[in-house]
Structure 1
Amino acid sequence: MTAPATVAGPRRSGRGRAAALLLALAGLTALVAVPTWFTTTGTTALQGTVTVRVAGSQVAPALFAAAVAILAAGAAVGLVGRVGRWVVAAVVVACGVLVVGTTLGVLGDPSAAVTPVVAAETGVGKLAGPVSTSVWPWIAVAVGVLDVVAGAWLVVASRAWSGPSRRHESTTDAANPPAPDERSDWDALSRGDDPS
């Protein structure tokens, strides 16, 4: 009698571990977009040459979208069945690819990426100096790769899980309703319903 409980225990903890991992990855994916990715200079009419610091969220807003999608995937892990888990894993992998692709695109041409930000802050759409790159875009690439690996791990790990929880489903069968008894008939009459 204790064997099913011991099997269900690891399955539930596996889902919980996966949800916790996806929650952590969502936070990490959003976090790497917050610091300064690039630093450059621009010119203003009043202040002359000014330093402009560009955050990752300004040049790669897709990272926040990927973080939200991974967060939703973490919430869905415990609710979906076998096919749903494949969809969740595919979403996580796609988010990782989006993070890597977006970040590498920005790293491929930092000047083009930061020019709109400099124009918005200075009013002049031209850089006054070179663009220096911090380590954060490369960390974002690593986090994107980690997202892809997590999606692949989810496919492998979820094979041992049971189906979605049936805790909140009705125990009565719609095709075979329970036989009426006298008490339920009287309750129905009290509500004004005809039990026959």
Structure 2
Amino acid sequence: MSGAAMNGQGTTVKSTSPAVPRWARKSTLVLLIAVLALAVFGTTTQTWLTVKLDPSQLGQAVGSQDGLQVQGSKAATTVTALALVALAGGLAASIAGRVARWIITAIILLAAAGIVAAAVTVLADPLTAAQGSIAAATGISGSNAQVAVTAFPVLAVVAGALLGLAALAIVPAGRHWKSRTRYDAAATGAAGGPARPADEIESWDRLSRGDDPT
């Protein structure tokens, strides 16, 4: 916000507040978190694992030469839910207060860590991750098979790591964000700024404190 003031010689001097860094802008950071969370979610809709089974074990549903395709939502069931949690957290950060932003940052960090851990587990042991889908398709559990891993689990790891870094940026960036709650508006009015007319809820709150709003 820019303003003007008169110095001792009657000259108008313009004063400007420090510009918010591009990376710290609320719209930029919230959009980045949303894009990364949606990117993680998008990977779970794609094939993470391709399972090659013996033809005698394959049912008609998976009888093609391409083998059994296992989506990320089945190979790592928690990734989908954690991506949605991170998305909701990023949107909530845009309207949260200072203390709430710390809590939201912790939630997004935990979600990002869970995404990375789940995807890395699939990369480390793809056969175990595919066992549920193999059993559902063939009715045989504990089958030995050749499992090929696609690039999507790696993309989930990268997006999850970037999501965690973006969450860490919420705390320093939040110092540049202005709160817009009704309590802040009331404080602005008390300081001499334009006050918003009290609504019915505020009137009841004042009555409960023993004040007469009339």
Which band: TM-score by shorter chain? 0.7 to 0.9
Residues 70-149 of structure 1: pairs in structure 2 closer than 5 A? 70-127=86-143, 129-149=145-165
Match of 1:19 in 2: 30
2:212 to 160, 177, 185: 177
Q: Does 2:70 correspond to 1:54? A: yes
Question: Relative to structure 1, is the Cα distance of residues 47 and 83 closer, same or farther in structure 2, using a 3 angstrom cutoff?
Answer: closer
Q: How far 1:154 moved relative to its partner?
A: 1.1
Match of 1:40 in 2: 51
Question: Relative to structure 1, is the Cα distance of residues 78 and 171 closer, same or farther in structure 2, using a 3 angstrom cutoff?
Answer: farther
SS at structure 2 position matched to 1:79: coil
Question: Relative to structure 1, is the Cα distance of residues 46 and 25 closer, same or farther in structure 2, using a 3 angstrom cutoff?
Answer: closer
Using the alignment, how far apart are the partners of 1:118 and 1:2 within structure 2? 64
SS at structure 2 position matched to 1:131: strand
SS at structure 2 position matched to 1:74: helix
SS at structure 2 position matched to 1:177: coil
Greater mean deviation of Cα atoms: 67-76 or 30-39: 67-76
Q: How far 1:104 moved relative to its partner?
A: 1.0
Question: Relative to structure 1, is the Cα distance of residues 15 and 71 closer, same or farther in structure 2, using a 3 angstrom cutoff?
Answer: same
The residue type paired with residue 117 of structure 1 is: S
Is the 8 Å Cα contact of residues 113 and 161 (structure 2) preserved in structure 1?
A: yes
Using the alignment, how far apart are the partners of 1:59 and 1:124 within structure 2? 17
Question: Relative to structure 1, is the Cα distance of residues 151 and 48 closer, same or farther in structure 2, using a 3 angstrom cutoff?
Answer: closer
Is the 8 Å Cα contact of residues 29 and 140 (structure 1) preserved in structure 2?
A: yes
Question: Relative to structure 1, is the Cα distance of residues 158 and 46 closer, same or farther in structure 2, using a 3 angstrom cutoff?
Answer: closer
Q: CA RMSD in A?
A: 3.0
The C-alpha deviation readout for 1:130-183, integer Å capped at 9, x for no partner, is: 11111111111101101110111112211222224338987436154343xxxx
Q: How far 1:30 moved relative to its partner?
A: 0.3
Using the alignment, how far apart are the partners of 1:48 and 1:69 within structure 2? 33
Match of 1:189 in 2: none
For normalisation by structure 2, the TM-score amounts to 0.71
Using the alignment, how far apart are the partners of 2:160 and 2:90 within structure 1? 16
Is the 8 Å Cα contact of residues 41 and 49 (structure 1) preserved in structure 2?
A: no
| Identity within the alignment, % | 27
Using the alignment, how far apart are the partners of 2:39 and 2:156 within structure 1? 9
Using the alignment, how far apart are the partners of 1:101 and 1:116 within structure 2? 19
Using the alignment, how far apart are the partners of 2:113 and 2:213 within structure 1? 52
Is the 8 Å Cα contact of residues 36 and 160 (structure 2) preserved in structure 1?
A: no
SS at structure 2 position matched to 1:53: strand
Using the alignment, how far apart are the partners of 1:161 and 1:55 within structure 2? 39
In structure 1, the gaps of 5 or more residues are 180-196
Using the alignment, how far apart are the partners of 1:63 and 1:110 within structure 2? 15
For normalisation by structure 1, the TM-score amounts to 0.77
Q: How far 1:8 moved relative to its partner?
A: 11
Aligned length: 177
In structure 2, the gaps of 5 or more residues are 4-15, 187-195
Greater mean deviation of Cα atoms: 48-57 or 170-179: 170-179
Using the alignment, how far apart are the partners of 2:102 and 2:139 within structure 1? 47
SS at structure 2 position matched to 1:38: strand
Match of 1:162 in 2: 178
